[in-house]
Structure 1
Amino acid sequence: MTPRLPGSHDARDLIVPQLSGAIEGTGDNVWIEVIQKMDEVYTDLVDSQTALEEQNARLEEAQDFIGSVLGAMTDVLVACDTDGRIQQVNPALEAIVGKRERTLIGRPIAELFQEKSQAVVTGFLQTLRSGEGIEQRDVSLAASDSQNALISTICTARRDHRGRLVGMVLVGRPVGELKRAYRDLDAAQAKLTRTQQQLFVSEKMAALGRLVAGVAHELNNPISFVFGNMYALKRYGSAITRYLTASDENKSPEEMKELRKDLKIDQVLRDIGPLVDGTLEGAERVRDIVQELRRFSSNQQEQPEEFNAVRLIHTAADWVIKAQRVKPEVLLDLPDTLEMTGRKGQLHQILVNLVQNAADVLDGRPDGQILLSGARQGEDIVIKVADNGTGISDAHRDKIFEPFFTTKPIGTGTGLGLYISYNMAAKQGGSLSVENRPAGGAEFILRIPADVRTES
């Protein structure tokens, strides 16, 4: 049975009585054919009505969606036709100009703006007709709220399905809001910078704490050497004093000769020069270690200076290895000198971090080896720190230089050492990369310009 629309008459109720007389006597076949055609037409009518209702529902949903989007926008939006007549605005614009959309439809778009901005807005359509693009412009709305009157606008062409220009859409954001957003962004950036600096200092202090034993050993050697030399010099000073006192007492040559032999004055004279030189060397070594410590722990901007990178590599390795419970073997493949100009303290920290990382990987292994090599390649100094550990898994390769990433147990690493080293290298115009060695283990490759004179 064909369904019937509620409250309506079946088309057959109206047509059949009229046709019955006309076709009377013409035969049952004709009558059946007419009824069948009517059923087909009626079915098509019902299907069309159903499809129309579905399309109308979808259209209402789309319109509600577009309305919700326009209502959620904080930027102002105006759409107009090719004559500059307003076709639609959003609630954000209504709030600024203090007028409802129904009172604005059909009005010239220029009426929304202050007199000094009207020519700019009306010129947008002419520019779009010529096919040119429109740059971002600042214009002033005719608004009671002067704080939101100035807006930064973007204007684009609106075209139909055939590509013909049918109007334009103008979108603008209050400049006051932009300024607030920029201020918030600047504040967030400043906070991030401060946090990064604090993290750098924290990691530096953590590294220094791990190196205390090695640094103490480095200081103990030259200090012990200085103390030993000073005690010897004190004895030598006493002997020379006794000899000179005896000379002032007009002792006989034989007595002076015997005293000279007893006090070993000739040996004192031979040893005093080397003792003084050795003492000075020990004191200078202490001074250098203290300066390196200050440079390592300093949070001040460091200026480029000339230095020998080979000596810096030795120092970094000594500090780290002497603090290890099980000391890995250190193999060196270095020239006598690698003179360069750069930030010595930053390079020292990078090297300490790399050697410490290798030592941590080899912790507890009796056969652990760390290979340090360096050479000049063109305008760069290339330093490599390799180990014979397990290497880096593919899952960790892309994360190795990320902040706070670490494979160490909780409480044994900050995950900042390699991240800081990577950024320090980049700030000096260099790079830090890592590769797995064919024989096993990992190799970190530090490339730094041999002459760094620009500020980071």
Structure 2
Amino acid sequence: MRDISVQDLLAIEVFKDVPENQLQWMIDRSQHYELPEGELMTRPGEPLSGTHVIFSGRIELYRVQNNTKHIISQLGPGTVTGLLPFSRGKIGIAYGVCLEASQLMTFPKELLKELIISHYELTQALVVVMTSRVREFTELEQQNEKMMALGKLSAGLAHELNNPAAAIVRSSASLKEHLLMQPDSFKSLLSIHLSHEEIDLLNDKMVSLLNNTNRPVLSMMKRSEKEDEILDWLDINHIAGCEDIADNLVEFGIGEADLEELKTKINHTDLSPVLTWINNSLTTERMVADIQEASKRIAELVGSVKTFTHMDRGGEREYVDIHVGIRNTLIMLNYKLKKGNIKVTEYFDFSLPPVKAMVGELNQVWTNLIDNAIDALEGRPDAELTLITRRDKEFVKVTVCDNGTGVPADIRSRIFDPFFTTKSVGKGTGLGLDVVNRIVRQHHGTVTLHSEPGRTEFVVCFPFNG
């Protein structure tokens, strides 16, 4: 291990303007040592021992989340790290492992007060390091939290997309099979001789059925009764394929009276192929409608993701409807809501004017608050999530409320602190509410917590004009 001189410190950018006597004072009072490859310089939860200056080697900082290693950065020669003047951090938040043998100098934390009082230029240099570190760390954590927010949604989103995708595959396969059977029914239809009046009648009837959007919504029992009535009529009139026909006719609101009317308009011998043709047309319509509905659902989900992440816009503030982001967040978290059997109640004031906000960041706020509420409701039989929007003079207030067990009184004052979490290891970083608080402050607003057993409210308040 080589001796460290004032010139070694002056070669480091941060110390280049510090008087030599102050640097020598720091060297004389520091601990000088080497760490072998694989040795840990710091661990999460351990008290910080002082200010570290690295002269040789490389040290990797990383955290472990969900049993996965997340690298924060690599520290090389000339890096100043550890406890710095006026820093609020007192304990380590990450692992620091030597990737190769490293030489360090550690200025003890017990002398920081004397440093601040007696050595202005040296203190100033270390404060610059601290502010740069805070800025870089904040940017990194905000990006990590964005990725974690998307990660929370990905499993549910995959499930939500899988359902309509499976419906499209299923319906398209059924439609293909159905179309292969069409030639036989077409032959039967061609074998009958319909007058122009009968053709117009059938055509008008089919157009009316397909355009009717006010079909009756029947209970299972009522539907079963209707199908039995149709089946009896079809059986009496010797119509082939009764069961399939009955299901379709009931679905499109056709009753026994409609069939009797049709029977009076065409020859009895033509009734079976005509009803078979009607049934085939209705079956095709239902399958196409299923595919259309599933495709629409996928398009809505993709649209929600695009709006939620704001991927096609810049980071500028713009005027938006606050409810769009909240609704999109609910869509993205729908799988977790259904899985937890959580009732969602909305009390929205749709007369609120648009708010000037950074939409992507604001969606992070709704995601973290709603996701925390869902976690708080886990295992509760009467789980309910309540969302409220209202105006308070020139401010908008958004309340996210759950009827979970509540936040214990002894931790309420710490709940917005970075890295504070009540979740089990691997389930939370303790950054969610810190990010919420930071984003809301960027919008010149506040986040407040009101909690008691059976009711927890987070109230977000910020001005309409941003």
What TM-score, normalized by structure 2, do the two folds share? 0.47
Tell which has more relative contact order, 1 or 2 (C-alpha 8 A, sep 6+): 2
Give the structure with higher Rg (CA). 1
TM-score (norm 1): 0.48
